[in-house]
Amino acid sequence: MTPGESPGSSSFYRRPWVALLWVLAGLVGTGLAAVLWRNAVLPEPWVAQLANLVVLSAPMIVATAIAIAVCSTPGFLRRVVFSGTWMDVVLGIGLGLAARALLEVVAPTTGSLLAGFGYISYTAVVVIALGAAFVTPVVEEFFFRGVAVAALLDVCATLGRGVAGTVAVALSTSAFVAMHVFLAGGVVTWGQLLAPLVVGLGCGILFVVTGRLVSSLLFHVVFNAIGVALLIW
């Protein structure tokens, strides 16, 4: 065995500790990218928003790709990414809708995307909307659930399924919330704090229960898409 490799008991990663190191690298990389990019000025708002999406997503995409390529068990993509059932779809969409509805009761979405860009930058609004509703959920689900939660489940496997799932969801959700608070500049509203908390817990639990990304990915997309629609409306 190579250093950091488990003795063969893991179901997602052969070397879960190494996968977690790549999660840490992705988080640090995202934080550094946010700090370095914070004062960047681009002439067109839509270009700035597109570049912002690429810059903040790149570290997580790279870390995810390397972790899966180097550390995952044979058949990982087939079992975790490219498989699913109708129940996965129902759970993801249904719970995503329920979670968004609950959040809107507790902390209603306020403000407007259009108000921040005036009348000439609707392209920027489109970039933000598509990024927040579709691109970001895919990137974050692969990174936080596909790598972080899966690797934590393997690391904690000897503690039992219930304990391992609790630890994996708790730690990954804490990192998920912390990253969003940091990217928001450290000052967030109650709703901005609850949103990543709900997504982290909901998607984490779905992944632990199903062992696949379909349900958590749909949960995240539905949750974000409704939030974006409310901001545009």
Distances (CA, A) of 203 to 20, 52, 230: 18, 25, 21
User: Residue 5: pLDDT above 60?
Assistant: no
Give the angle 156-22-214 at the CA atoms, nearest 5°.
70
Q: Tell the residue number behind the tokens 């790709």, with chain if given.
A: 65
The tokens 């903040």 sit on which residue? 56
pLDDT digits (tens, 9 = 90+) for 141-165: 999 999 999 999 999 999 999 999 9
Q: pLDDT of 26-83, one tens digit each?
A: 999 999 999 998 877 777 777 888 898 999 999 999 999 999 999 999 999 999 999 9
Q: What is the pLDDT of residue 211?
A: 96
At residue 116, the pLDDT reads 55
Residues 209, 145: contact at Cβ < 8 Å? no
Query: Are 77 and 199 a contacting pair, CB within 8 Å?
Result: no
> Structure tokens of 141?
């689900």
DSSP 73: P
Q: Are 164 and 25 in contact (CB under 8 A)?
A: no
What pLDDT, on the 0 to 100 scale, is given for residue 62?
Answer: 98
36 compared with 188, residue with greater pLDDT:
36
